[in-house]
Structure 1
Amino acid sequence: MTKTDAGADWRTYTGTGLPPILETALACFMEHGYHGTTIRTVAARAELSVPGLYYHYPSKQALLVALVSHAMDDLWRRSAAALEEAGDDVRGRLDLLVECLVLFHAHQRDLAFIAYSEIRSLVGETRTTYIGARDRQQRLMDRVIEDGVARKVFTAPYPRDASRAIVTMCTGVAQWYRADGEHSPRELADRYRAMTRMTAGAV
């Protein structure tokens, strides 16, 4: 998905938006884990030679970095668009940011799961960059909750803790959500909006 597409309708999902090689790598990582996947396995499933795969991505680490970077960039664009839609309404900003997080982690479950679970496999500067992107994403919710408390719209006694709890709950959807489960992503988003209002102490 392009930046324009995400900004135009951050609720719409039509696949992962990944190029075919990364789609293949994602499937392999989901099946075997990062460390259990070999370049040869990815190349064979992508119907490429190993040198052909290396032409596009020089290492297995490069595949992982491309996946997590795509995940964080897409979530950031969608989150920014959701907050822009809400405007200055702090309740609306909480509702739409939560909706964005839940929809992303349900629709992009595999991608979000790998981005979360394989942070341990990132090395060097790439790990530092990912943590920076994750922290930047967290600060969006921090500011929403802190602003709501400052305006006396939210009554959470520990705003930063409430913000972390809300984000953890929303991102945790990727750990258990199944497309054939009891609730659709839309229904989950509605439920989580109600639960997070209580967490924030919305009045």
Structure 2
Amino acid sequence: MTDSGAVVRELRKQAGVTLRGLATGIGVSVGTMSAIENGKVGLTVGRLQEIAQFVDVPIARFLEPPETARTAAEDDPADWRVFTPLTLDPVLESAIDVFEELGYHGATMRLIASGADISVAGIYHHYPSKQHLLVALVNIAYSELAQRLDAAGEGVEAVTAFANMVEALTLFHVERRALAIVLATELRRLEEPNRTHLQSSMAQIEGRLREVARRASEGGSFRSEDLSVAIKAIVTMCMAVPTWTDDADAAQGQGIAREYANLALGMVGLRTDH
């Protein structure tokens, strides 16, 4: 079986099951499950059957290579609608799972280390605290988001750029749901100067949309009054998507994102007679 651990990880995520949930479901430790997915522990036929049954996926699917060979870092930046699985180090993968399940305050470095199949001493060598883990995840998320918004708005007129950017913002919160949930629920845990840095990142996201909306307004395509409140409402609306979707909704992600783009155009007063 080619790269069996990677196949297990991908199909688990597609099924909307956390690493801890699968480990509990088949009666192994989180560390063992992480080691399986990272290729450090081999899979027996019996264990594979247990996993397949728990995630409700035919066992034959586990005998196929992963559907996506590229990582997000290898995506074509211009292809902003395409999301391949993030390739993070095991510690950050585990941190997302633990933060999502237990929250920042409920998470411990020991639990995160267990999920990453690394010693507690080892995790502190790379990440001195939970705060460092949260900051790393925030930086990864906002870096990707900024790249996608820039690509979505490049080379097209202002109205299309605005709709594309809202679509990209929404797609990110559907496709990167687990990471987006951590951002939405745990950002208040950031300490200074990280909190100020985050506020700057958020302002830049809003600023990108506000600037494109201003151009469309000056061209007569959007209503002429100040759109600042509308832009804040649109960003907030997009960021709330993970609160009412689940991992299964990713298949309908592009439809959801297009619908949100249309809603956003209504909120800024698109003039259809222009």
Q: Which residue of 2 aligns with 1:140?
A: 208
CA contact (8 A) 2:217 2:223 kept: yes
CA deviation digits over 1:119-147, x for unaligned, max 9? 11111111111111111111011111122
Matching residue of 1:153: 221
**3-state SS in 2 of match to 1:7:** coil
Local SS of the residue matching 2:111: helix
Provide the secondary structure at the position in 1 that maps to 2:247: coil
What is the rounded CA distance, in whole Å, between the counterparts of 2:102 and 2:132 in structure 1? 17
4+ residue segments displaced more than 4 Å? none
Candidates 97, 110, 119, aligned match of 1:49: 119
The 5-angstrom pairing of residues 51-200 of structure 1 reads: 51-84=121-154, 87-155=155-223, 157-181=225-249, 184-200=252-268
Give the secondary-structure state (helix, strand or coil) at the position aligned to 1:35.
helix
Q: Distance in 2 between matches of 1:101 and 1:17?
A: 20
Question: Residue in 1 aligned with 2:51?
Answer: none
Give per-residue Cα distances to partners, 1:175-202, cap 9 Å, x unaligned: 2211324971011012112111111111
Cα 1:76–1:182 shift into 2, 3 Å = closer
Q: How many Å separate the matches in 1 of 2:181 and 2:251?
A: 19
Distance 2:84 2:147 in 1: 16
**CA shift for structure 1 position 88:** 4.4
Contact in 2 for aligned 1:6/1:77 (Cα 8 Å):
no
- Structure 1 unmatched runs, 5+: none
Calculate the TM-score normalised by the size of structure 2: 0.69
Show the counterpart of 1:9: 79
SS in structure 2 of the partner of residue 154 of structure 1: coil
Identity of aligned residues (%): 36
Q: CA deviation at 1:8?
A: 3.5
Equivalent in 13, 21, 45 of residue 91 of structure 2: 21
Deviation of 1:61 after TM superposition, in Å, equals: 0.8
Task: Supply the distance in 2 between the matched residues of 1:6 and 1:18 (Cα, whole angstroms).
Answer: 18
| Distance change (3 Å), C-alpha of 1:28 and 1:51 | same
CA separation in 2, counterparts of 1:57 and 1:131? 23
Question: 1: distance between equivalents of 2:270 and 2:141?
Answer: 30
**Structure-1 separation of matches of 2:174 and 2:109:** 28
How many residues were matched structurally?
200
Q: Distance in 2 between matches of 1:11 and 1:76?
A: 14
Which string of whole-angstrom CA distances, capped at 9 and with x for unpartnered residues, describes residues 150-194 of structure 1? 111101633111111111111111222113249710110121121
Match of 2:239, as an amino acid? T
In 2: Cα distance, 1:182 partner to 1:36 partner: 28
* RMSD of aligned residue pairs (Cα, Å): 1.7
Q: TM-score, normalised by structure 1?
A: 0.92
Q: CA deviation at 1:70?
A: 0.5
Q: What CA deviation, in whole Å up to 9, does each residue of 1:10-31 have, x standing for no partner?
A: 1111123322210110000001
Instruction: Note if contact 1:156-1:199 (Cα within 8 Å) is conserved in structure 2.
Output: no
Cα drift, residue 45 of structure 1: 1.5
Unaligned residue ranges in structure 2 (runs of 5+): 1-71
